[in-house]
Amino acid sequence: MIFRQLFDQVSSTYSYLLASRPGGEALIIDPVLEKVDRYLHLVKELDLTLVKAVDTHLHADHITGLGALRDHTHCITVMGEQTKADVISMRLADGDKLTIEGLALDVIYTPGHTDDSYSFILPDRVFTGDTLLIRGTGRTDFQNGDSRKQYESIFGRLLKLPDATLVYPAHDYKGDTVSTIGEERAYNPRLQVKSVEEYVELMNNLKLANPKMMDVAVPANMKVGLAQEEIARRGWALSAGKAIALLGQPDIALIDLRERSERERHGTIPGSLHVPYPTLQENISAGGMLNELAKSTSKRLLFYCAFGERSAMAVQAAQDAGLASARHIQGGIDAWNKANGPLER
């Protein structure tokens, strides 16, 4: 595995770049906007393709690099389903897998620091966000934080992992880089409590000042979505209502860009083809299946995904590949559901 721990000095944030092999797909956890150029450079040097940019939660102390990485690389953005970010490409829930080629991280919901906090687990390590820090825990006094829930996330979930599991947090202010579950259980001062009440009491009396960046970072991190308006302005978007009216017409080819797990959980539009977003480029290039479909038949390609972000990027890519009939469903399955469009499971 390729693994890089990257540091932002201003916010003391750790970001993590992971890939299973040189030349393969990569994902990044908790990227910082100001460091995006550094990440892009490193991804290139390591000969990787960035396919997912993931935030463990909505950050209050720095602006996320998710949107900028998506705009530069056409990777998808990923957060938990509870997040208040306006649009992200893919939302995860407890029990899901966060996958790239050769790697599958277990996704666990660990609320408490915020109500959208998640941790991601590999067999030998866990990325804990701000739920569990090295000799500390994330504050619980804003963004729907809840010290009772955090106690449950830490004691009920994270500390159940094997003692040797490496702990990689989203921040460290003292210069520590990594710990283990066993070490934190034994020596983390916040975890030396006898009951949830004692933990709540401890967290209620921290009296911390708000993060300096909070008033800037939180609103910015809530507006991370791709400007689907630009695709609409070019006439390449259909509302869910218009798309529903086209259902069953022989000249429409509906193309679902989501992952299998998303299709199973949320259902699919009847009669659609499954072309996962990472395989898009080979499919729309000359000789590719969608390229043939669009050019040798009169079918118009109608892309969709979860929230319209992958499909907006797909329309742009298809147009760039000369497939002028390509369109997408603005707002994705989320909008389709709100318009009462039929789904198959």
Q: Which is nearer to Fe ion, 177 or 249 (CB)?
A: 177
Stretches 5-13, 75-83, 84-92, 126-134: which one binds Fe ion (CB under 5 A)?
126-134
Q: Taking the complex as a whole, how short is the minimal distance between the CB of residue 212 and Fe ion, in angstroms?
A: 13
By beta carbon distance, the residue nearest Fe ion is: 130
Task: Provide, rounded to whole angstroms, the least separation between the CB of residue 143 and Fe ion.
Answer: 8
Residue 95, CA distances (Å) to 26, 110, 121, 276 in order:
21, 11, 11, 21
User: Looking at 129-137, 177-185, 198-206, 222-230, which segment touches Fe ion (CB under 5 A)?
Assistant: 129-137
CB of 113 to Fe ion, least distance (A): 6
- x/- map, 274-313, Fe ion, by CB under 5 A: ----------------------------------------
- Closer by beta carbon to Fe ion, 131 or else 228: 131
Give first-to-last CA distance, the chain, whole Å: 35
Q: How far is CA 147 from CA 83, 112, 131, 173, 202, in A?
A: 18, 6, 10, 21, 9
Q: Considering beta carbons, is residue 67 or 129 the nearer one to Fe ion?
A: 129
Q: Shortest Cβ distance from residue 60 to Fe ion (Å)?
A: 6
Site for Fe ion in 25-44 (CB under 5 A): none
Per CB under 5 A, the segment of 127-135, 214-222, 248-256, 308-316 that binds Fe ion is 127-135
Residue 172 interacting with Fe ion (CB under 5 A): no
- Please provide the DSSP assignment of 117-170 as one string: -EEEEETTEEEEETTEETTEE---SSTT--HHHHHIIIIIIGGGS-TT-EEEES
Give which of 59, 120, 71 is closest to 225, Cα–Cα.
Answer: 71
Q: Does 130 bind Fe ion (CB under 5 A)?
A: yes
Only one of the segments 122-130, 153-161, 220-228, 241-249 lies at the binding site for Fe ion (rule: CB under 5 A); that segment is 122-130
Nearer to Fe ion, 59 or 263 (CB): 59
* Alpha-carbon dihedral angle through residues 22, 26, 31, 34, given to the nearest 10 degrees: 50
Provide CB contacts within 8 A for 9, sequence distance 6+. Answer: none
Nearest approach, Cβ of residue 131 and Fe ion (Å) = 9
For CA atoms 165, 166, 171, 173, the dihedral sign is positive
In angstroms, give the least distance from the CB of 170 to Fe ion. Answer: 6
Which ranges of the chain would DSSP assign to H, the alpha helix?
Answer: 36-45, 66-73, 147-151, 181-187, 196-204, 214-222, 228-233, 240-246, 260-266, 280-284, 289-296, 309-320, 332-338
The least CB distance from residue 86 to Fe ion, in Å, is 19
| Per-residue x/- track, 75-114, Fe ion (CB under 5 A) | ----------------------------------------
Q: Give dist(CA 214, CA 223) in Å, integer.
A: 14
Which tokens belong to 197? 């009440």
Classify residue 103 by its DSSP letter.
Answer: E
Number of residues that bind Fe ion (CB under 5 A): 1
CB 136 within 8 A of CB 128: no
Give the nearest distance from C-beta 93 to Fe ion in angstroms.
20
> Site residues (CB under 5 A) for Fe ion?
130
